[in-house]
Structure 1
Amino acid sequence: MVLSHQKAEMPMSDQPDLARGEPRHQGQTTDVVVDLHEYKKAKNPPPVTFHRRELDQILKVYGRMVGEGEWRDYAIDHTKDCAVFAVFKRTGEVPLYRIEKNPKLAAKQGAYSVASANGMVLKRGHDLAQVLKVFDKVLKLVET
């Protein structure tokens, strides 16, 4: 023999309990459905990050420059406004270069930029591969 206690299902609400006979809606509409995931995303947007292909391009340049002895360390920072890949000659110093992704500038000057240690923007554009060409060595004619 199984005993069960059944309770009447009552709808849950965040509104205060109403007195008997009091109407539920007093000039307020409560029929708005809010997607919690979208609400959280709008309230606290995720940080800007580098996508896998962007990181592949950056790390390809980084590996080449490490092989040449130019760079030794890097740091990645993701904020709500931009993503930064900073490269260092020595750990603990000011970064030699900062490769930045700022989506707010995508429609204007381009989302990608490379800045030097003193903050001067060396190259800016819409295509990361083009912006990273600032690190390509230009061959110079040397007279002997």
Structure 2
Amino acid sequence: MTDRGAGAEDRDESAILIPLHEARRERMELPVSFNRLELDLILRLYGRMVAANEWRDYAIDHLADRAVFSVFRRASETALFQIVKNPKLARKQGAFFVVAPTGLILKRGHELASVLGVFDKRLRLVEA
């Protein structure tokens, strides 16, 4: 007996063949999530808003059809805003949109950075 023969048997037993259709099905069942760059943009905005004392808590939901970043003033309240990624709408209206507490879509688009621009404060002229 040699060790070479035993090693060959171990290789055969450890090799697992997965049919391609099963691998694709498993990949398709993964929930939608924010990638690292998208999450970085969102968390930078979140940090600015926390520093401004406007936001205090957040939640991230990875669902089968969309990913949602919800922002709260207090943990016990409903979400102030929701930043949503829905890949099915990527070619039509854009994969990203911001939703107000009333359900109104404030802004939607293909690029997350432009959609998050809805939170930028703009100076307004106030007439007395």
Question: Unaligned 5+ residue runs, structure 1?
Answer: 1-32
Q: Which residue of 60, 66, 69 corresponds with 1:85?
A: 69
Aligned-pair CA distance for 1:92: 1.8
Counterpart position of 1:116? 100
Match of 2:19 in 1: 34
Identity %: 56
User: Are the structure 2 counterparts of residues 39 and 119 from structure 1 closer, same or farther at C-alpha, using a change threshold of 3 Å?
Assistant: closer
User: What amino acid is aligned across from residue 46 of structure 2 in structure 1?
Assistant: Y
Match in the other structure for 2:59: 75
Inter-partner Cα distance in structure 2 for 1:123 and 1:113:
6
- The residue aligned with 1:101 is 85
Deviations for 1:51-86, whole angstroms, at most 9, x for unmatched residues?
Answer: 000000001111000000100000000011000000
TM-score normalized by structure 2?
Answer: 0.81
Q: Could you say what secondary structure the match of 1:92 adopts?
A: coil
- Equivalenced residue count is 110
Aligned amino acid, residue 66 of structure 2:
C
Query: What is the aligned counterpart of 2:49 among 58, 61, 65?
Result: 65
Q: 1:129, 1:39 → 2: CA distance?
A: 32
- What residue number does 2:39 align with? 55
Task: Answer with 1 or 2: which has the greater Rg.
Answer: 1
Richer in helix (by share): 2
After TM superposition, the score normalised by the length of structure 1 is 0.72
Distance between the aligned counterparts of 2:100 and 2:47, measured in 1?
19
Q: Write the distance in 1 (CA, Å) between the matches of 2:25 and 2:102.
A: 39
Gaps of 5+ in 2: 1-17
TM-fit CA distance, 1:143: 5.0
| 1:15-41 CA distance string (max 9 Å, x none) | xxxxxxxxxxxxxxxxxx823423433
Indicate the SS of the match to 2:98.
strand
Q: Tell me, what secondary structure is at the counterpart of 1:71?
A: coil
